[in-house]
Structure formats: C-alpha cells, structure tokens
Amino acid sequence: MSTSRLPSIIYGTAWKKERTTSLVVTAVLQGFRAIDTGEVEDLVGEGLQELYDKHGIKREDLYIQTKFTPISGQDTSQPIPYDPKASIEDQLVSSLDLSLKNLRTDYIDAYLLHSPLPGPVSNTLKAWKVLARFQDEKKVRLIGVCNTLSEERKVQVVQNRWYEGNNWDKEVVGWCKKNGAMYQSFWTLSGSTSLLSHKPLITIAKVNKITPEQTLFKFARTTGVVPLTGTTSAEHMKHDLEVEGIEFKPNKAEEEVADVTALVA
C-alpha cells in the first residue's frame, strides 16, 4: 500500500490470542485493509497467508503495522524477539527480522517504537535513528511513536490513547495535524463509555440512524484521528467500516454536533 493510500481505520489484533488468525481473515474479508499486530505476529502472519492463498488478497493491498517493544514492555515469561543484553541497534535488527519472518513479508508499512526505551533519552534517540535507517533501506515505509523525535527524522505516525481520560489528547493531535503525522487512536470506544451515553451524542446517532459507536468514530475521523478497532464481531466490523461514508445530516442536531465537537476537538 502506498503512503498516498493511508488507512482511515485500522483493525487491531492485540489480546486476541488463539483467535488472531481467524479474526485477521474475517476483518480483511469484511473490508479492512489495515492491520495493527499484537503480541502474536506469527498468528497474524498465518491469517495473511490464508488471505493471499485462498482469497486473492495481495500484499500490496494491505497496510501492515507492527512495533518494537523495549524490554520494559516485554512479557519475560514468553520468548523475547532479541537478546536483551545486545546493543540497541542489534535488538532492533533482530526484532525487525523476526517481524518480517512472522508476517511473511519483505517490508512493513509502519514500524513503531512501542514506548520510549528505559534509561536516558539518548537510548530512545539511538533506537529512533535505527528506525530511520530501516526506512532508508526500504524495510519499513513509515516510522513513529512520539513527537519528541522530530529533530532526528520526521515522525509519520503517532499512536496513543484518544479518550476522555486524557481529554482526547488534543495537544498531540494538534501537533500531528501541524506536522503532517498520522494520529492513531486506541481505547477510542472502551475509554469513552460516558461519551457513548452522552445525550447529545445519542441524539446525533438517532437523527442519522447510526449507532453511538459509529457516531464517536465519525467524530474521531472529523477530528483527524485514525481509530483502531479490535472488535471480534463481523457485524461490528461492518459498522466500523461504514463510518468513512457517513455524513451527518445537514441542519439536524446542530447544537448537539457543536456540543460533542467542543468536547473532543
């Protein structure tokens, strides 16, 4: 997938465990073309291979995103994709090589630092420079994690919680808009349960004959946010994909739209 065809919504595979392969297949057959991998890349890769072999999906039609997770974020009871005692560069090289193998591809559409590295800021900057090299080598197409790294290489992707608990991350979303980075959200629905029951949002949903969840996703998109969804329901996958084509009815529930916009934008 070229960078000119960036996703408007992404299917997230975190915490799906043994269901990962079948859910990846279901999501793509429902219409998703962007996949964010979770902790079981190999199962995502199995799903991708099934799509290639049995359903005529091509690698270039998909946006595949994965991450480098520092040792501080690793489940040490499970195999770690690098030697924690190795240099930062060698850790990243080993992790990317395994990701490419697991995902059965020779490039990653977006490769992210899952979090800053432990220790001094210089460690994170070292890791960022390695990601920049991967991009130069065309092993990855987009790199990202946080806006503090922009002096070294332009950040193209920021993934963060976008929910009421952090006031919808307005400062970082604004930074992304200003600097041409894609802001991706997780916890979009699960972190905003009170907004989903907010009377103005419910009114907007009813007027437009859509679900409250679709309404919230629509506000995310109009704010410039690309939401991740991890639903396991094929019906909800369909609803989530419909969001991009939804337009709120003109001259209807205008006060309510302004109310919700003021909250999230």
Q: Is residue 33 part of a domain?
A: yes
Would residue 51 be called left, alpha or beta, if left means φ above 0 and alpha means ψ between -120 and 50 degrees? alpha
Q: Is residue 138 part of a domain?
A: yes
- Asked whether the beta carbons of 121 and 146 are under 8 A apart, the reply is no
Q: Is residue 150 part of a domain?
A: yes
Dump the DSSP string for 164-206.
GGGGGGHHHHHHHHHHTPEEEEESTTTT-HHHHT-HHHHHHHH
CATH of the domain at 122: 3.20.20.100
For 78, the 3-state DSSP assignment is: coil
Take residue 134 and report the two structure tokens written for it: 């991967």
Output the CA torsion 115→118→121→127 (10° steps). Answer: -60
Give the residue carrying structure tokens 């073309």: 33
CA 225 to the chain's CA centroid: 10
For 96, the 3-state DSSP assignment is: helix
- pLDDT at position 121 is 85
Take residue 55 and report the two structure tokens written for it: 């359903």
Take residue 152 and report the two structure tokens written for it: 């070294």
Q: Is residue 239 part of a domain?
A: yes
Query: What's the predicted TM-score (pTM) here?
Result: 0.93
Q: Is residue 210 part of a domain?
A: no
Please list, residue by residue across 12-48, b when 16 or more beta carbons sit within 10 angstroms of its beta carbon and e when fewer do: bbeebeeebbebbbbbbeeebbbbbbbbbbebbbbbb
Report the distance separating Cα 81 and Cα 66, nearest Å: 13
- pLDDT at position 152 is 65
- pLDDT at position 78 is 85
Please list, residue by residue across 52-61, b when 16 or more beta carbons sit within 10 angstroms of its beta carbon and e when fewer do: eeeeebebee
Q: Is residue 200 part of a domain?
A: no
Q: Is residue 115 part of a domain?
A: yes
**CA distance to 52, 63, 195, 216, per residue, from 168 (Å):** 37, 25, 11, 12
- Asked whether the beta carbons of 39 and 77 are under 8 A apart, the reply is no
- pLDDT at position 148 is 55
What is the per-residue pLDDT across 153-176, written as a single tens digit (0 to 9) for each?
Answer: 788 999 999 999 999 999 999 999
Which residue range(s) make up the domain with 21? 10-194+215-246
Q: Which residues of the chain have pLDDT under 70?
A: 1-5, 146-152
Number of domains in the chain: 1
What is the per-residue pLDDT across 127-143, written as a single tens digit (0 to 9) for each?
Answer: 999 999 999 999 999 99
- pLDDT at position 151 is 58
Q: Is residue 263 part of a domain?
A: no
